[in-house]
Amino acid sequence: MKFILISIILYLVFSMQMFSQENNKAKGDIMFEDNMHNFKKIKYDSESYFDFDFKNIGKAPLTITKIETSCGCTIAEKPEAPIAKKGKGFIRVWYDSKRVGKFSKTITVYSDGKNSPTKLMIKGEVLPKKNKIDNK
């Protein structure tokens, strides 16, 4: 009986030590200059993108692992290389301006940093396509 009790106690002590070491491991930490961008009014079928600038304020390199957008009308491009500690980077976000009307979309950024995931947002309004009038 004592053997079982001692085994359980030793297991718990080693488990706690293992988890505490994982929490103390240095990590990157992403901080965006702005988490929201308002395109305001966009011309129909114009190139519409914005760069969300960020800095790695953590104590280790930061890797952006994936980005998800709230719909297929929004595309985001992530840096492929890790961002060094105190380094800077950006995430470029495009909106399909062939969709007339107001929009509000979310971009979710996943990384190996402390504060993952991080939410970004874009909004604006795509103006209707202008028709050319023939003057004959």
- pLDDT of the chain, 136 residues: tens digit per residue: 766 766 666 666 666 555 544 455 788 999 999 999 999 999 999 989 999 999 999 999 999 999 999 999 999 999 999 999 999 999 999 999 999 999 999 999 999 998 899 999 999 999 998 865 544 4
Q: Report the distance separating Cα 18 and Cα 14, nearest Å.
A: 6
SS3 label, residue 34 = coil
The answer regarding whether domain 35-126 maps to CATH 2.60.40.10 reads yes
pTM of the shown model:
0.76
* CA dihedral sign of residues 9, 11, 13, 16: negative
**CB of 37 within 8 A of CB of 50?**
yes
**CB of 52 within 8 A of CB of 38?**
no
The confidence score (pLDDT) of residue 68 equals 96
Q: Report the distance separating Cα 124 and Cα 47, nearest Å.
A: 14
The confidence score (pLDDT) of residue 66 equals 95
Domain parsing of the chain, residue ranges: 35-126
The overall longest dimension of the chain from CA atoms, in Å, is 102
Would you call the peptide bond into 82 cis, given omega within 30 degrees of 0 as the criterion? no
The confidence score (pLDDT) of residue 10 equals 60
